[in-house]
Amino acid sequence: MSIKENLEKIKGSIPEQVTLVAVSKTKPVSDLQEAYEAGQRILGENKVQEMVDKWESLPKDIQWHMIGHVQRNKVKYMIDFVALIHGVDSFRLLKEINKRAKKADRTVDCLLQIHIAEEDTKFGLDKKELQEIVASEEFQKLENINIKGLMGMATLTDDENQVRREFRQLKSHFVELKTRLPEIDILSMGMSGDYKIAIEEGSTMVRIGSSIFGARK
Ligand SMILES: *Cc1c(COP(=O)(O)O)cnc(C)c1O
Query: Is residue 175 situated within a structural domain?
Result: yes
Total-model pTM: 0.97
Q: How far apart are CA 189 and CA 211, in angstroms?
A: 15
Query: Is residue 85 situated within a structural domain?
Result: yes
Q: Best substitution site from 3, 6, 19, 23 to test ligand 1's pocket, by max atoms within 8 Å of Cβ?
A: 23
Angle between helices 127-135 and 91-103 (to 10 degrees): 40
How many domains does the chain contain in total? Answer: 1
Q: Which pLDDT belongs to residue 120?
A: 67
Q: What percent of the chain has pLDDT over 90?
A: 96
What's the rounded mean pLDDT across residues 8-18?
A: 98
Q: In which element (H, E) is residue 195 found?
A: helix 195-200
Q: Which residues approach ligand 1 with their CB closer than 6 A?
A: 23, 25, 46, 67-68, 153, 191-193, 207-211
The enclosing domain of 106 has a CATH number of 3.20.20.10
Query: Is residue 216 situated within a structural domain?
Result: no
Query: Is residue 35 situated within a structural domain?
Result: yes
Q: How far apart are CA 79 and CA 88, in angstroms?
A: 14
Q: Which pLDDT belongs to residue 169?
A: 97
Q: Domain range holding 163?
A: 3-211
Q: Which pLDDT belongs to residue 156?
A: 92
The runs of H, that is alpha helices, within 21-107 are: 29-37, 48-57, 75-78, 91-103
Q: Give per-residue pLDDT as tens, 115-165.
A: 998 876 668 999 999 999 999 999 999 999 999 999 999 999 999 999 999
- DSSP for 125-162 reads B-HHHHHHHHHSHHHHT--SEEEEEEE----S-S-HHH
Query: Is residue 79 situated within a structural domain?
Result: yes
- 217 pLDDT above the threshold of 90: no
